[in-house]
Amino acid sequence: MGEQKARSAALGDLRVLDLAGPAGLYCTKQLADLGADVIKIEPPGGDSARAIGPFYHDEVDPEKSLYWFHFNTSKKSITLNIESPEGKKIFKKLAKEADIIVETFQPGYLDSIGLGYSALKKINPGLIMTSITPFGQTGPYKDFKSSDLIGLAMGGFLFICGWEDEPPSRVGGSQAYNIASVHACSATLIALYHRDMTGEGQRVDVSMQQCVAHSLQWVTQMYDLQKRIMVRSGRLGVPLQECKDGWANFIALFDWDLLVDWLKSGGGAADLDDDKFKDMDYQIRPEVRQHITEVTDAFTKSHDKRWVCEEGQKRGIIAIPCNNARDVVENPQLVSRNFFVDVEHPELGDTLKYPGAPYRFAETPWKIRRRAPLIGEHNREIYGKELGLSSKQMALLKEQGVI
C-alpha cells in the first residue's frame, strides 16, 4: 500500500477481504477506519445486509440503507460469486495477496467450496482468517444457526435485561453482533502481531455466544460462588429518576444525608430522613427501593434532567442525564472533541453525520475515509487495474453471473 500511507494510518499497509455478514461488519469497519484497504465482497446484485433498514428518507433501496452506511464506511466493494469456478479462481488470486480475511459463514462452508483456511494458507502462509460464527467451529452447537437475539439469549445477557416482573427484554441495536465484532477485531490484531513476529498466519475462531458470555461481568461469578442466579431488576437495578423531559440517574453512594438534604430543600424528602434508610442492606430490599424511587420521582418530575443533574452534582451527588439521540449529538463534551464527523454522499447530494473515532492515536489517526460503497463500485479498480482484466472480460464475467 506504500510506505507513505502506512505511516499516515495505523493499518494502512494491510489488505482485508470482507466476507462478513451482520455479525462481522463492525469488525471490518474498525479495520477499514483504521486505514486497512478493506474490500467488501458482495454477491452479484448486492449484499443482503443492504435490505436492512432504516433507509435514507424512508426510501427502501439497497443503496440507501442507513444500516449499510454505518457498518461499511471506508470500505471498497466488488461483486463476486465465490461458488462459481471462475469466481473461486478470482478469490484465490485476491487471497494470495491479502493479509486478513473476515468471514461469518457456517462452519465448514468455505471448506466445502475449496476456499477454507486449509486451502488458502497453502498459497498464502501469512494469511489470517477470522471466522465469526454463532457458537464457534467446534462443539455440539457448531452447526446451529443464530441471530443477534439468539446470541444474546444463549450468552446469558438477555435473561438479566428488563423488568423484574416481565419476560427478558432485548437491548437496542445488534449488541451480540457488535460484541462479537469487537472481540474479533481485537483477536485479529493480536494474530497480526504474531504474524509480524513470526511470519505465520493463523485461523481465528470467534464464538458469538462466548463473546456475549464474556460480557456478563460478575453475573457468572455470583452463580459460581453463591449458586445465585441474577435476575432482572428493571428500574430498581439502575436508579433512574423521571424528569419533565426524560430521565436522570443519581445516587448518593457516599453520603445518604446529601440526598435527603437536597430533597428537603425542595420539600420532598418524605420519610427518607429516618436513620434506617442509611443502612445499605435495608436500602436494597425491593420494596424499600420502590419506595425510595417513588419519593425521588415526586421531586424530580417537576424539573428537567439537566437541572436535576447540575444541582445534584453541586451537592456531591453522582447525577447524570439519561441521554437520547439528540442529547448525544448535541452533547458539549462530544462536540468539543469533534466526535461526530460529516461524510459526503455525492450520489444523494447530501452530507450525513456519523459517529467518529471511539479512541484517538496521536500519530496514526482513525478516520472515516469515504462513505460506504455502492454495489460493485470498485470492480473496475480491482478487476481491471489490479488483476488486469479487460473491459470485455469483465463484461463477460458479469453476463455469466460471476461478478
- Asked whether residue 144 falls in the same domain as residue 247, the answer is no
Does the structure show a pLDDT above 70 at 298? yes
- Asked whether residue 349 falls in the same domain as residue 289, the answer is no
Does the structure show a pLDDT above 80 at 358? yes
How many domains, in total, are found in the chain?
2
Task: Give the pLDDT confidence score for residue 317 in this predicted structure.
Answer: 87
Task: Give the pLDDT confidence score for residue 6 in this predicted structure.
Answer: 44
Query: Which ranges of 199-254 does DSSP label H, i.e. alpha helix?
Result: 208-214, 219-226, 234-237
- Asked whether residue 189 falls in the same domain as residue 124, the answer is yes
Q: Confidence band (pLDDT; 50, 70, 90) for 223?
A: low
**Residue 290 included in any domain:** yes
- Asked whether residue 120 falls in the same domain as residue 17, the answer is yes
d(CA 26, CA 176): 11
**Residue 231 included in any domain:** no
pLDDT tens-digit series, residues 139-184: 999 999 999 999 999 998 888 787 777 888 888 889 999 999 999 9
Enclosing H/E stretch for 392: helix 391-399
Nearest to 311 by CA among 250, 253, 268: 250
pLDDT tens-digit series, residues 55-98: 999 999 999 999 999 999 999 999 999 999 999 999 999 999 99
- Asked whether residue 265 falls in the same domain as residue 364, the answer is no
Q: Of 294, 329, 364, which residue sits at a domain end?
A: 329
DSSP track, 80-111: --TTSHHHHHHHHHHHHT-SEEEE-PPTTHHH
**Residue 165 included in any domain:** yes
Residues whose CB is less than 8 angstroms from the CB of residue 399 and which lie 6 or more positions away in sequence, other chains included: none
DSSP track, 170-206: PPSS-HHHHHHHHHHHHHHHHHHHHHHHHS--EEEEE
- Strands 318-322 and 240-243 come out as unpaired
Torsion angles phi and psi, residue 234, rounded to 5: 55, -140
Q: Please say whether the beta carbons of 79 and 403 come within 8 A.
A: yes
**Residue 384 or 231, more confident:** 384
**Residue 195 or 163, more confident:** 195
Residue 252 carries which side chain, given as an amino acid letter?
Answer: A
- Asked whether residue 295 falls in the same domain as residue 354, the answer is no
Q: Of 329, 361, 390, which residue sits at a domain end?
A: 329
Average pLDDT over residues 128-142: 98
| Averaged confidence pLDDT in the chain | 91
**Residue 222 included in any domain:** no
Domain harbouring 204, CATH code? 3.40.50.10540
Does the structure show a pLDDT above 50 at 130? yes
Average pLDDT over residues 315-323: 89
Nearest to 373 by CA among 80, 78, 76, 79: 76
**Residue 224 included in any domain:** no
- Asked whether residue 259 falls in the same domain as residue 353, the answer is no
**Residue 67 included in any domain:** yes
- Asked whether residue 149 falls in the same domain as residue 270, the answer is no
Q: Of 268, 294, 329, which residue sits at a domain end?
A: 329
- Asked whether residue 117 falls in the same domain as residue 178, the answer is yes
Give the residue numbers spanning the domain of 266.
238-329
Does the structure show a pLDDT above 60 at 17? yes
Q: Confidence band (pLDDT; 50, 70, 90) for 1?
A: very low
Task: Give the pLDDT confidence score for residue 160 in this predicted structure.
Answer: 78
Q: Please say whether the beta carbons of 276 and 331 come within 8 A.
A: no
**Residue 5 or 184, more confident:** 184
Average pLDDT over residues 306-321: 90
**Residue 233 included in any domain:** no
**Residue 228 included in any domain:** no
Percent of the chain with pLDDT over 70: 94
SS3 (DSSP) at 246: strand
d(CA 178, CA 201): 25
Nearest to 381 by CA among 36, 98, 37: 37
- Asked whether residue 343 falls in the same domain as residue 309, the answer is no
- Asked whether residue 169 falls in the same domain as residue 211, the answer is yes
| The three three-digit cell numbers of residue 131, written as one number | 471466522
Percent of the chain with pLDDT over 90: 70
Angstrom CA distances, 5 to 8, 351, 380, stand at: 5, 26, 22
Does the structure show a pLDDT above 70 at 235? no
Task: Give the pLDDT confidence score for residue 293 in this predicted structure.
Answer: 85
pTM across the whole model: 0.89
Average pLDDT over residues 222-230: 70
Q: Where do we find the cell 509480524?
A: 196
Task: Give the pLDDT confidence score for residue 268 in this predicted structure.
Answer: 81
d(CA 172, CA 154): 17
Residues whose CB is less than 8 angstroms from the CB of residue 38 and which lie 6 or more positions away in sequence, other chains included: 16, 18, 28, 31, 32, 74, 75, 76
pLDDT tens-digit series, residues 244-293: 999 998 876 667 888 899 999 888 889 988 888 888 777 778 788 888 88
Domain harbouring 271, CATH code? 3.30.1540.10
- Asked whether residue 381 falls in the same domain as residue 248, the answer is no
